[in-house]
């Protein structure tokens, strides 16, 4: 069945360093969503990408959707302690159901 | 104040007992979902419902049951047939199913079965 793989599983960075998480699907996606889950919390929607090659920015966060619509990335510039949490990508392969990646847990050392 | 609520936040049960987790939303969303979250495994879909009185199995439905008698409510029963029920359970809703809308998650219920 459809799989969405996310790497790395964990990332520890010094505050101010950049961070990137990558998401790869076994099949072409109609769109991809990104969520953030703070420690002890629940996932919160960040953004959705729909078009091939699409790039969207939210302040220090940059989201990309690959040309083949099978991969995506989230890049955070100059991390802050408020960026701590687990970032999930979730893809829809035209089934109407989201398939979530395993998540990347980001730790930021002040 | 619109949102999605789950209760209780923590739940403890003895092995062999069925337990029902509550999920309510007042967002007027058609679609509702139940996910299970285990460490390092992301979110796995248990059941989802696109409309009242209809629901479909997700990827890990064995040992679980649901009902959708009202638009606002989508309770999940963890039965004694579920081999590893201890987990964090998340309920979510979205405007509609069929297309991909953003999902709104409840605060979750952490179930411990001993």
Q: What is the pLDDT of residues B13-69, one digit of tens each?
A: 999 999 999 999 999 999 999 999 998 778 999 999 999 999 999 999 999 999 999
Query: Average of pLDDT values for A68-87?
Result: 97
Residue B87: pLDDT band with limits 50, 70, 90: very high
Q: In this complex, is the C-beta atom of A100 within 8 Å of any C-beta atom belonging to chain B?
A: yes
Round to whole Å and give the CA distance between A25 and A71.
6
Beta strand pairing status for A61-65 and A55-58? antiparallel
Residue B98: pLDDT band with limits 50, 70, 90: low
Round to whole Å and give the CA distance between A93 and B1.
33
Q: Note the pLDDT of residue B100.
A: 74
Specify the DSSP class assigned to residue B53.
T
The answer to whether A62 and A79 are in contact (CB under 8 A) is no
Q: Note the pLDDT of residue B99.
A: 65
Question: Reduced to 3 states, what is the DSSP secondary structure of residue B47?
Answer: strand
The answer to whether A90 and A102 are in contact (CB under 8 A) is no
Question: Reduced to 3 states, what is the DSSP secondary structure of residue B24?
Answer: strand
CA angle B59, B65, B66 (to 5 degrees): 100
Q: What is the pLDDT of residues B61-85, one digit of tens each?
A: 999 999 999 999 999 999 988 899 9
Q: What is the mean pLDDT of chain B?
A: 93
Q: Check residues A18 and A96 and name the one with the higher pLDDT.
A: A18
Q: What is the pLDDT of residues A2-42, one digit of tens each?
A: 789 999 999 999 999 999 999 999 999 999 999 999 999 99
The answer to whether A32 and A24 are in contact (CB under 8 A) is no
Q: Check residues A96 and B11 and name the one with the higher pLDDT.
A: B11
* Minimal CA separation from B106 to chain A, in Å: 7
Which residues in B have their CB inside 8 Å of a CB on A? Answer: 35, 40-45, 48, 50, 58-59, 90, 92, 97-100, 102-108
Q: Note the pLDDT of residue B1.
A: 55
**Residue for token pair 């405007």:** B95
For residue A47, what is the nearest residue in chain B, using CA coordinates?
A: B102
SS (H, E, C) chain A: CCCEEEECCEEEEECCCCEEEEEEECCCCCEEEEEEECCCCCEEEEEEECCCCCEEEECCEEEEECCCCCEEEEEECCCCHHHCEEEEEEEECCCCCEEECCCEEEEEEC
Query: Average of pLDDT values for A71-83?
Result: 98
């Amino acid at each position: 069945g459809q799989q969405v793989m996310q790497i790395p599983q964990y990332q520890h960075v010094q505050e101010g360093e950049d961070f990137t998480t990558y998401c790869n699907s076994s099949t072409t996606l109609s769109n991809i969503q990104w969520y953030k889950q703070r420690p002890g919390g629940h996932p919160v929607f960040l953004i959705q990408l729909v078009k091939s090659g699409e790039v969207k920015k939210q302040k220090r966060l940059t989201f990309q959707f690959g040309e083949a619509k099978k991969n995506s990335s989230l890049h955070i510039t100059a991390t802050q302690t408020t960026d701590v949490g687990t970032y999930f990508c979730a893809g829809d392969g035209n089934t109407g159901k989201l398939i979530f990646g395993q998540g990347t847990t980001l730790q930021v050392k002040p | 104040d619109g949102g999605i609520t789950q209760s209780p936040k923590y739940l403890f049960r003895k092995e062999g007992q069925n337990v029902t987790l509550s999920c309510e939303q007042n967002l007027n969303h058609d679609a509702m979902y139940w996910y299970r979250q285990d460490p390092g495994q992301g979110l796995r879909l248990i059941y989802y419902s696109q409309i009242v009185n209809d629901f479909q199995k997700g990827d890990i439905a064995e040992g679980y049951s649901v009902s959708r008698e009202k638009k606002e409510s989508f309770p999940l029963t963890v039965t004694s047939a579920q081999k590893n029920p201890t987990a964090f359970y998340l309920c979510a809703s979205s405007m509609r199913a069929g297309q991909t809308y953003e999902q709104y998650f409840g605060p979750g219920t952490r179930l411990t079965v001993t």
